[in-house]
Structure 1
Amino acid sequence: MITFSATTVLVLALIAALVFAGGVWAYSTANRLDRLHVRSDQSWLALDSALARRAVVARSVALASADPEQAKRLATLADRAERACRTDRETVENQLSAALSMVDIGTLRPQLVAELADAEARVLIARRFHNDAVRDTLALRTRRPVRWLHIAGTAPLPTYFEITERVTPAASTGLEVDTVRTSARIVLLDENDRVLLMRGNDPATPEISFWFTIGGAVEPGESLREAAVRELWEETGHRADPAALRGPIWRRVAVFPFDRELIRAEELFFVLRVTAFTPEPGKLSTIERRSITGNKWCTPSDIVAVDQSGETVYPYHLDELLPAAIAAVAGAGDLEVTSIR
């Protein structure tokens, strides 16, 4: 019969504990790496989508250009950008950026100017999100224990995407915006998972209506949560505790014309569940009284119907985003802010 001394048992126990701890570390690191790879893949898809949208807008700019040579170059580069493989993409996109910077925006329709600014802003934000994801992934993958143990397996290394950023108030378009602001918005859900949307229009184009979530610009000295609940009361008469808000869950950067001004807004979205009520404005500003024309508690199918009727809903694809908002308001703990349109 084999017997072990107390010292041997202790040593074996320590070795077992070290092996177990190492296994737990390797398992948790592998899971973290998997999440980081998923994040970098998703961020690339978002960047690819933003670049594709910019190419579409560039083609519209080409059609509106009075310079035949410039129009031909823009159209050609837009086509090349859409077809370029990953290795050539940076070069082609930088060429397209340079060509867009040469456009005289004074000759374009205001709506096309806003679309161009919005497209460039989305590329700027998506590229930063992607490169942040790549940085975090590489930081973990290049650690010696991770490399020695081949924890990452055969997954390819993610790569940065470098594109020239022309840092201007209009987010790399060369445009001069009249107002730059940060906005706090609320996805207000009732007990039946309907979202309250406001209907309104631009005072400069009252014949065109659109729908949007509750919210507005953050005033000096306010926090995002304070601004969100203030806007909620002003637009609906409902009072809420800032601490009851969940989020922010989404981040949206938009450049758009409003009341004959070009505005660049960075919007942060919170989510809040309440019992359905009939909105009665608490205190609308002069511009809000001119621009807000109605409201409605909407289901996803209602949102689709409104979109199909020709009245745009902001943010885009809100019907598809609502499940994430519903999950966020029902959950606990920290939430990751995602970029939306």
Structure 2
Amino acid sequence: MNTFLVLLALLAALVVVSGLFLVATANRLDRLHVRTDAGWAALDAALARRAVVARAVAAGALGGERAEAMRVAAEGAESAPRPERELAENELTRLLADVERSALAAPLAAELSDAEHRVVIARRVHNDAVRDTLALRRRRKVRYFRLAGTARQPEYFEIAEPELDASTARPTPRVSARIVLVDPGGRVLLFRGHDPAVAKERFWFTVGGGVEDGEELRAAAVRELKEETGLGTTAEKLVGPVWRRRVEFGFDGHHYDGTEWFFLLRLDTAGTDIDTSGFTDVEVATIGTHRWWAPGELGDTGETVYPVQLAEFLPPLLEHGWDGRLRSIR
């Protein structure tokens, strides 16, 4: 009887401790959601202020078609729904990058610089909050006990950050051919790297790289596959392009306007060795490791993966195959 009571007491203590732990986790998650909402509110306000300043620039320093394009872009950025907001804000960033700052009145130039600085800071704060929130939401205990409740899953806000100096130039166009390389188990190969200018921010990405002048997309994809993995294939074995991604990004202090085309390639054998001896000097310096990811792992990870919708788009592609439609992916 005494043993039974002891076991019962231990069980009750375990339930209480587990309950307190879950309550503490739920409270922490709630605070993270509040932090994410506050981060978005601050970012939204910073973007709105930039749009107002952009209209002032259009009215006071530009003329004709340039002024009209700036005004339309500013209004479009303000009114765009969330799924389209990133493209609209990137368009405004592109137009502002073409403005000759030295030709602006000093107060207006200072106002524009301050507005752009605030956008950069607010976006980073918001995305840091999103990263921390998603990392906690993806833990098993949070998912099993539905500790997130009905709170909407936060999303990163992926826009190109404006250059913060007077020598800003139009982003350099860059076309890339990328391969979603999948083994027989349905796992996709990703590399982990970083921007030399922001070494502490690591992210995962697919095989592939820039298309050289006069090079066909498929030929570029085959070449990049060989250089980055040591694996050979033919252009005919590539499926797609299945996805296209438009993105503005910075790398090593340079600003790019990128178009990425994704092909699917399924391997016939598992356990294929990846040979990275063909890496360029830049890749050697910026790519730390690689691994095969199961689709479920992509959805659970709190790490940054590009494209950000890979966990959403990959499973149906693998399950049903490609239906011949080119889809836009973020």
After TM superposition, the score normalised by the length of structure 1 is 0.51
1:294 aligns with 2:289: yes
| Counterpart code for 2:278 | K
Give 2:28's aligned residue: none
* 1:108 counterpart residue number: 116
The within-5 A match list for 1:274-285 is 274=267, 275-276=269-270, 277-285=272-280
Taking the aligned partners of 2:230 and 2:199, their CA distance within structure 1 comes to 25
In the TM superposition, what is the alpha-carbon distance from 1:290 to its structure 2 partner? 1.0
Give the aligned residue type for 1:290.
Answer: A
Aligned to 1:336: 325
Structure 1 residue 317: Cα displacement: 2.1
Structure 1 residue 283 displacement after superposition: 1.3
CA distance in structure 2 between the aligned counterparts of 1:268 and 1:219, rounded to whole angstroms: 14
Q: Residue 184 of structure 1 contacts residue 269 of structure 1 at CA under 8 Å; is this kept in 2? A: yes
Give the Cα–Cα distance (whole angstroms) in 2 for the partners of residues 79 and 182 of structure 1.
25
Q: 1:57 to 1:180 in 2, by over 3 A?
A: farther
Q: Do the aligned residues in 1 keep the contact of 2:171 with 2:256 (CA within 8 Å)?
A: yes
Give me the CA root mean square deviation: 4.1
* Aligned match for 1:81, one of 66, 79, 92: 79
**Partner in structure 1 of residue 129 of structure 2:** none
Counterpart of 1:59 in structure 2 is 45
User: 1: CA distance between counterparts of 2:232 and 2:119?
Assistant: 36
Q: Is the 8 A contact 1:255 1:264 kept in 2?
A: yes
Conserved 8 A contact 1:253-1:265 = yes
The reply to whether residue 242 of structure 1 matches residue 235 of structure 2 is yes
Paired residues, number: 207
Deviation at 1:194, TM superposition (A): 0.7
Residue 211 (structure 1) aligns with: 204
Q: Which residue of 1 aligns with 2:317?
A: 325
Secondary structure (helix, strand or coil) at the match of 2:178 reads: strand
Within 1, Cα distance between the matches of 2:256 and 2:307? 16
How far residue 112 of structure 1 moved from its aligned partner, in angstroms, is: 2.9
The one-letter code sitting in structure 1 at the alignment partner of 2:45 is R
Alignment of 1:71-150 (within 5 A): 81=79, 104=112, 108-109=116-117, 112=120
Q: 1:177 touches 1:261 (CA, 8 Å); kept in 2?
A: no
CA distance in 2, matches of 1:227, 1:251: 15
| Partner Cα separation in structure 2 for residue 313 and residue 104 of structure 1 | 32
Q: Deviations over 1:165-204 (max 9, x none)?
A: xxxxx9xxxx734421110001111101111111000111
Describe the shift of the 1:66–1:252 C-alpha distance in structure 2 as closer, same or farther (beyond 3 A): closer
CA distance in 2, matches of 1:292, 1:212: 10
What is the CA-CA distance between 1:340 and the residue it aligns to? Answer: 1.0
Q: 2:298 aligns with which of 303, 314, 319?
A: 303
Identity fraction in percent: 37
Q: Residue 207 of structure 1: CA displacement?
A: 1.3
The 3 A distance-change label for structure 1 pair 80 and 226 is closer
Matches of 1:255 and 1:196 in 2, distance apart? 23
Amino acid at match of 2:207: I
Q: Residues 251-275 of structure 1, C-alpha deviation per residue, up to 9 Å, x if partnerless?
A: 1000011111111110010000012
Q: Is the 8 A contact 1:213 1:314 kept in 2?
A: yes
Task: Give yes or no for contact 2:189–2:291 (8 Å, CA) kept in 1.
Answer: yes
Q: Does 1:254 align with 2:252?
A: no
- Contact 1:59/1:78, CA 8 A, preserved across alignment: no
Q: 4+ residue stretches of structure 1 with deviation over 2 A?
A: 54-67, 77-83, 100-113, 175-179
Name the SS for the 1:187 alignment partner. Answer: strand
- Contact kept, 8 Å, 1:55 with 1:82, in 2: the verdict is no
**Which secondary structure state, in structure 2, belongs to the residue aligned with residue 104 of structure 1?**
helix
Q: Find 1:264's aligned residue among 257, 260, 265.
A: 257
How many angstroms apart in 1 are the aligned matches of 2:195 and 2:78? 36
Higher-Rg structure is 1
8 A contact 2:179–2:263 mirrored in 1: yes
CA contact (8 A) 1:255 1:262 kept: yes
- CA gap of 1:292–1:243, structure 2 versus 1, over 3 A, is same
Q: Structure 2: which 5+ residue stretches go unaligned?
A: 1-39, 57-74, 82-87, 97-107, 125-162
Closer/same/farther in 2, CA of residues 177 and 302 from structure 1, 3 Å limit: farther
Once residues 78 and 264 of structure 2 are traced to their aligned partners in structure 1, the CA distance between those partners, rounded to angstroms, is 41
Unaligned runs of 5+ in 1: 1-53, 71-76, 84-92, 117-169
- Change in 2 beyond 3 A, CA 1:104/1:281: same
Q: 5 Å matches for 1:172-211?
A: 176-211=169-204
SS of aligned partner of 1:108 = helix
Q: Structure 2-normalised TM-score?
A: 0.53
